[in-house]
Structure 1
């Protein structure tokens, strides 16, 4: 049996139009393809009663307007090879016919070369009116009573506020990709969003997401022909409670892509506190023939021809952006003293500290009490750790002692610094492990292999995964029924409790299903090993050991936070201390 055209149209519409936000998306994308510089969206009752989108694009003649309501009629494609070079957001010719099939639709349009426009009124796919009318250049589409003829679909629409929220998020997202276009959104006659034309992405972010967030985002960019990736990133210490502010655009098309999302997660791996998420606007420019956007009915998913290269490029761009933020920004973790309360320190993400560089000699060689990072030995006198006029060295701090055997207290030119000794050593080990795994000779054979005994289930798992453990940097040999000998470990872990480390490593890896993914395995192990092997809170250190620890912080890529995102240190400036004691400035 062949379905009647009206039934087939409703089924097809269900794939393209699922809720009011889908209507807004299709109409805005049509407006952008028409070259609009101003787009106005008006909704009533969360879009369930009415949606109107007005643009100043190129408009359509009466003949083209009539043709636009026919399924698969499009001016954006001529032949099959054009699918490989798509430069428009729409191309299937399904949006307007789908809308007309499940709503009462009115279309008014006029091109620049005509003095009179046209009006078409359609209900349930049937044209009720096709007549000339007065109209401004551009197109106005009004969609009323969405799903009026498909009660089952209408029943599943959310509340007015929920649908309106979806539309707001959509318009915000689309506006981020087109800062040169003026967007307006009104609900029940009240203006909800205004995004005037902007030249800079940061200005557009401020308009649609708020100034507070925009001021916390920093730019990144990387170009490798024929690709270009650029956008804005949130510093890891500013992590948010949800993934709501993650926007990904490929050739300015808003997408929900697993590959880009994975690159974003990997870039922030070890930089965020658990339960915190990054904010980012990622723009990827790629030749149209290298990306397939004809994968999903709503065109939200895409497929890259060279996904590995795209992933690597995006990950590199994001990582470089994050490292550029943190390399000079040991000052990014600041603190403000609350006047009148000398017992409370309130976190404040204030202006950067810029202490002067010291030309004094760095401490001597690092002993085995604090394991050094390969290649990060203390520098010669007067040698700066990294370029930048605002940089300074931990090795030059004057160590005063410990606070409750957990925090290092030191004097800096600008005030008093508190350093979390566990977080600091954890970051040192975390980066050292990466170096050890990259260097073939960094695994050290044990002069006396150490035995470790496991439970039967753990031993069975380990017996089957000795190669995985070796890949992770721990070599073991069977030594009895449930026992093994530890023969090699990363150099930076030689002085640790290796038996406990092996047990914890097995417990960490056993739940992972895909052990073939070495990057996932190693990242989990780096987090476990660095945390397990680091100096603990409550552990007493000598002044010499503290100095050795501080000297190693100067060689880190990231010295602002531990692998889990917790801050390494806090500064109390002299100005804040004087303010707390109500002392005058000198």
Structure 2
């Protein structure tokens, strides 16, 4: 029998490896940025076209590569970061895997330009689908430039699974922010379709955070610093009052590498215990430095999860450091770039003492004494104060009897008096007594609405019922494009991160169909000038926080699924909450609107809105 096991060709093996290494354009961005950082670059540019589908280019001014290295870096398991297996436990670099460039070259058109500082000429290499097209010397500046074009050109199935450009760009921004925050000493810039998205000059940790997330991030940060034999912790956490519902501003960096750790996140949440609302997530940007031999970063393909030798001690130290900073943030000086100098004390008044007002008290004044029992001193004082005035008692003293004098002489004929008939307007909910008894509603524990029906009673969950009513209303407005808007007297400006603004741009058309009016959408803020008629100005920030939280994991390309998600999120946010008192007419209106819906039986989240109990069911409860 012939052998059925054989070695795969290199280009096939590279394509299989690419399925693990390169999942989307953001994976290419991560690998190329990390290589540029390892090349000791001080200036890194990221250029994106069509959310990375057409072009991902990274240009750095690092040490560059020789002719041999430039060709060898595209081979499998080729790396300059490790030599022995023991090196995996003492890593100080990022891209040590040795499969990234080979995998990227197998599924895209790659163009590499690199030159070392001491060399006169650089190397220009073109690869298409693992095939070397050309390699020739070229006049180049110091550093390396990688251009990855037409990603997944030879794997159309993988290309079809990519999301919309807005979603893919959001993933690219995530990877860019993680590398940029970990290395504030490097100048980063990012361009998408010719427009600048980020311009981050080299700075300290705090200024890099403020530059990345813009808005009013500076006033939200509280410094954290702790040094022990196990770990050195520094960074910033957010004040509890600025906590959001999404986790977009939570970053752990271990030895300048971004990681995800549910265990360390639990330590942060334990430190915030009692300070956050339900469902709120604090912001944190924490940099942990630990000995490389105490961690294992080779346990996950994307290297975003690591294993610590002493997790319990690290948990306790991190929790204590955050709790200590939270206890001091009220007195800690925070640099405020937006301080208003008009509130400062004027220079000419800084050295002057305050002048206190003088108070004079009449110690002889008695509010309970009448004029006849005044003391002699009071009488003398009264004489002195009234000596210049004369008072004469009037001759005529009116009394209440005089008001009725001559009333009998008036001839009053009651038959001639006419009264205006008061028109009785019919009530909106006017019903007969019998009908009123059958349609009357009752609220129980400010949570359920009970209404009698012919066969028994119906018990309605007021929150779920209102969600269903709002959901169908919002979905109808977005589908038919007939929503009404109300203009704001003063446009409202809301601040968001760049990633959140990109998400708002993706759902902008759906929000406009719903009744929102946007004057401008900038890199770090949006200006809202109109709202749907059912939404108040105080609810805008809450609505956008919930929308961003629900869309954090991305939405589908289908416009209907996007509208459906928006309608669900807004219905959940604006629905009447449990514990809210409803008047009888509000209860009746909610019941009528619920049963006018297309699907009144379930909420938008497929949970029952009401239950019915027949008279027979009630009778069974009382049988012995």
TM-score using structure 2 length: 0.51
Secondary structure in structure 1 of the residue aligned to 2:23: coil
The equivalent residue for 1:173 is 178
The equivalent residue for 1:59 is 64
Write the distance in 2 (CA, Å) between the matches of 1:294 and 1:196.
Answer: 32
For the pair 1:186 / 2:191, whether they are aligned, the reply is: yes
Larger radius of gyration: 2
For the pair 1:45 / 2:50, whether they are aligned, the reply is: yes
The answer on whether the counterparts of 1:233 and 1:280 sit within 8 Å (CA) in structure 2 is yes
The answer on whether the counterparts of 2:55 and 2:147 sit within 8 Å (CA) in structure 1 is yes
For the pair 1:123 / 2:128, whether they are aligned, the reply is: yes
The answer on whether the counterparts of 2:230 and 2:314 sit within 8 Å (CA) in structure 1 is no
Write the distance in 2 (CA, Å) between the matches of 1:92 and 1:202.
Answer: 31
The answer on whether the counterparts of 1:217 and 1:232 sit within 8 Å (CA) in structure 2 is yes
Task: Report Cα offsets for 1:496-520 as digits up to 9, x if no partner.
Answer: xxxxxxxxxxxxxxxxxxxxxxxxx
Task: Report Cα offsets for 1:411-437 as digits up to 9, x if no partner.
Answer: xxxxxxxxxxxxxxxxxxxxxxxxxxx
For the pair 1:143 / 2:181, whether they are aligned, the reply is: no
Write the distance in 2 (CA, Å) between the matches of 1:229 and 1:29.
Answer: 23
Match for residue 286 of structure 2 among 282, 288, 307: 282
The equivalent residue for 2:96 is 91
TM-aligned CA deviation for residue 244 of structure 1: 0.5
Secondary structure in structure 1 of the residue aligned to 2:95: coil
The equivalent residue for 2:309 is 305
Equivalent positions of 1:358-507 (< 5 A) are: none
The equivalent residue for 1:269 is 273
Number of aligned positions between the proteins = 328
TM-aligned CA deviation for residue 22 of structure 1: 0.7
Secondary structure in structure 2 of the residue aligned to 1:131: strand
Write the distance in 2 (CA, Å) between the matches of 1:143 and 1:87.
Answer: 27
Write the distance in 2 (CA, Å) between the matches of 1:328 and 1:174.
Answer: 29
CA separation of 1:328/1:123 partners in 2, compared to 1, >3 Å: closer, same or farther?
A: closer
TM-aligned CA deviation for residue 310 of structure 1: 1.6
Secondary structure in structure 1 of the residue aligned to 2:135: strand
TM-aligned CA deviation for residue 118 of structure 1: 0.2
The equivalent residue for 1:373 is none
Write the distance in 2 (CA, Å) between the matches of 1:94 and 1:321.
Answer: 42
Task: Report Cα offsets for 1:254-313 as digits up to 9, x if no partner.
Answer: 111222222222222221011221011011101111111111111111111111122222
Match for residue 208 of structure 2 among 204, 213, 220: 204
For the pair 1:14 / 2:19, whether they are aligned, the reply is: yes
TM-aligned CA deviation for residue 183 of structure 1: 0.3
TM-aligned CA deviation for residue 212 of structure 1: 0.5
Write the distance in 1 (CA, Å) between the matches of 2:17 and 2:90.
Answer: 25
Write the distance in 2 (CA, Å) between the matches of 1:226 and 1:255.
Answer: 18
Write the distance in 1 (CA, Å) between the matches of 2:273 and 2:118.
Answer: 55
TM-aligned CA deviation for residue 114 of structure 1: 0.5
Write the distance in 2 (CA, Å) between the matches of 1:221 and 1:170.
Answer: 26
The equivalent residue for 1:225 is 229
The answer on whether the counterparts of 2:42 and 2:61 sit within 8 Å (CA) in structure 1 is yes
Match for residue 322 of structure 1 among 319, 326, 330: 326
The answer on whether the counterparts of 2:53 and 2:151 sit within 8 Å (CA) in structure 1 is yes
The equivalent residue for 2:31 is 26
The equivalent residue for 2:262 is 258
Write the distance in 2 (CA, Å) between the matches of 1:313 and 1:17.
Answer: 36
Secondary structure in structure 2 of the residue aligned to 1:152: helix
TM-aligned CA deviation for residue 230 of structure 1: 1.1
The answer on whether the counterparts of 2:109 and 2:129 sit within 8 Å (CA) in structure 1 is yes
Task: Report Cα offsets for 1:330-389 as digits up to 9, x if no partner.
Answer: xxxxxxxxxxxxxxxxxxxxxxxxxxxxxxxxxxxxxxxxxxxxxxxxxxxxxxxxxxxx
Secondary structure in structure 1 of the residue aligned to 2:113: strand
The answer on whether the counterparts of 1:205 and 1:211 sit within 8 Å (CA) in structure 2 is no
CA separation of 1:8/1:319 partners in 2, compared to 1, >3 Å: closer, same or farther?
A: same
TM-aligned CA deviation for residue 38 of structure 1: 0.4
For the pair 1:35 / 2:76, whether they are aligned, the reply is: no
The answer on whether the counterparts of 1:267 and 1:318 sit within 8 Å (CA) in structure 2 is yes
CA separation of 1:219/1:328 partners in 2, compared to 1, >3 Å: closer, same or farther?
A: closer
Tell me, which stretches of 5 or more residues in structure 1 are unaligned?
330-586
Write the distance in 2 (CA, Å) between the matches of 1:55 and 1:236.
Answer: 39
Tell me, which stretches of 5 or more residues in structure 2 are unaligned?
334-624
TM-score using structure 1 length: 0.55
Which consecutive segments of 4 or more residues in structure 1 shift more than 3 A?
A: 326-329
Task: Report Cα offsets for 1:208-257 as digits up to 9, x if no partner.
Answer: 11141122111111110141011111111221121111011110101112
TM-aligned CA deviation for residue 328 of structure 1: 8.1
